[in-house]
A = this chain, B = another copy of it.
């Protein structure tokens, strides 16, 4: 049971109080704010560094009835967690904001295949004061739990039917911008490889595509695939090309899909961007690795994580004015593929 590093006992408020010649209460007051004479304050600060005092988190949390932890819930199989170019950035952003506010981020990955309700239990268990929830889906049981618990949360993305705070980008608007520009540059037969229609990001991108085309929209030019993945992009492109050999532009639902599409295009003897213009989505590492480099929509991943964390923090502070929806800017980046 040699759990804690042996060393000398960590010093406590008690030690500080004694060294400064005051009571524990006074020490606590300078730590947390309250009426303290300048003289006492100084003596205490000196004592603190003298005895090397560091507050005990557990004790503080116990009396304050908080855990000082925020969950980062990713509802995604491990493999997708690793593939997704945005999750890492979102996590980093959330972590930065949270730790600056002295909160710990506890990362929980719900491998969809396994039990969702392990997380539900976790959330109910009072292990966290709030949560950032990534890639929730419609009717997600986790969202239900959160609602019942009235736990301060923020979703990244905006699954329909969710009532809590959320932060996202304007997928639909960005898609429209992409397609409009494609048309402006002379593309006339523009197709789309849509993906992940079961989440808002996927369906909104498709909606934007459709809206931008208006009357010119042709359902035959949309190919739908399951995942935002390279292989899906390649397969989708191949099928799309069979149906519409005269196509001269493609909007792919993600960079990975776009990269796959480019591969299929090349295999079919089409040149990018000369014969077919290709645009992706995410501005992930993929975008600058394809040749030609991909035109795409920039996702502010760290910003999303950071904003979601801030929204949770605001609720934790009892801030009533929390906006329930925040849209971050997702500019289109034009490179060489279209």
Binding site for B on A (CB under 8 A): 1-7, 10, 54, 56-59, 61-62, 64-67, 69, 78, 81-83, 88-89, 91-92, 95-96, 99, 104-109, 124-127, 129, 149-152, 230, 259, 263, 285, 289, 291, 302, 316, 318
Q: Report the minimal beta-carbon distance from A95 to chain B, rounded to whole angstroms.
A: 6
Please pick, from B5, B95, B285, the residue contacting A109 in the complex, using a CB distance under 8 A. Answer: B95
Chain A at the B interface: SS class = mixed
- Cα A105 to Cα B57 in complex, Å, equals 16
Residues of B within 8 A of A64 (CB): 3
- Cα A263 to Cα B291 in complex, Å, equals 9
Given contacts A67-B57, A104-B69, A105-B107, contact A129 B92 (CB under 8 A): no
- Cα A124 to Cα B259 in complex, Å, equals 46
Q: Report the minimal beta-carbon distance from A278 to chain B, rounded to whole angstroms.
A: 16
Q: Report the minimal beta-carbon distance from A335 to chain B, rounded to whole angstroms.
A: 15
**Does B125 contact A316, Cβ atoms closer than 8 Å?**
no
- Cα A64 to Cα B318 in complex, Å, equals 32
**Does A5 contact B67, Cβ atoms closer than 8 Å?**
no
Q: Told that A3-B316, A259-B289 touch, could you supply 7 new A-B pairs with CB distance under 8 A? A: A4-B129, A56-B126, A57-B67, A78-B92, A78-B302, A105-B107, A230-B289
**Does B3 contact A129, Cβ atoms closer than 8 Å?**
yes
How many copies altogether?
2
**Does B54 contact A58, Cβ atoms closer than 8 Å?**
no
**Does A285 contact B124, Cβ atoms closer than 8 Å?**
no
**Does A3 contact B66, Cβ atoms closer than 8 Å?**
yes
- Cα A5 to Cα B151 in complex, Å, equals 6
**Does B10 contact A126, Cβ atoms closer than 8 Å?**
yes
Residues of B within 8 A of A83 (CB): 285
Residues of B within 8 A of A106 (CB): 104-106
Residues of B within 8 A of A289 (CB): 230, 259
Residues of B within 8 A of A129 (CB): 3-4
Please pick, from B69, B109, B150, B291, the residue contacting A6 in the complex, using a CB distance under 8 A. Answer: B150
Query: CB-nearest residue of chain B relative to A316?
Result: B3
Residues of B within 8 A of A6 (CB): 150
Please pick, from B1, B10, B67, B81, the residue contacting A58 in the complex, using a CB distance under 8 A. Answer: B67
- Cα A65 to Cα B58 in complex, Å, equals 8
Please pick, from B5, B69, B92, B124, the residue contacting A150 in the complex, using a CB distance under 8 A. Answer: B5
Residues of B within 8 A of A92 (CB): 78, 81-82, 109
- Cα A108 to Cα B108 in complex, Å, equals 15
Given contacts A107-B105, A126-B10, contact A5 B149 (CB under 8 A): yes
Please pick, from B58, B126, B151, the residue contacting A61 in the complex, using a CB distance under 8 A. Answer: B58
Please pick, from B82, B125, B126, B152, the residue contacting A88 in the complex, using a CB distance under 8 A. Answer: B82
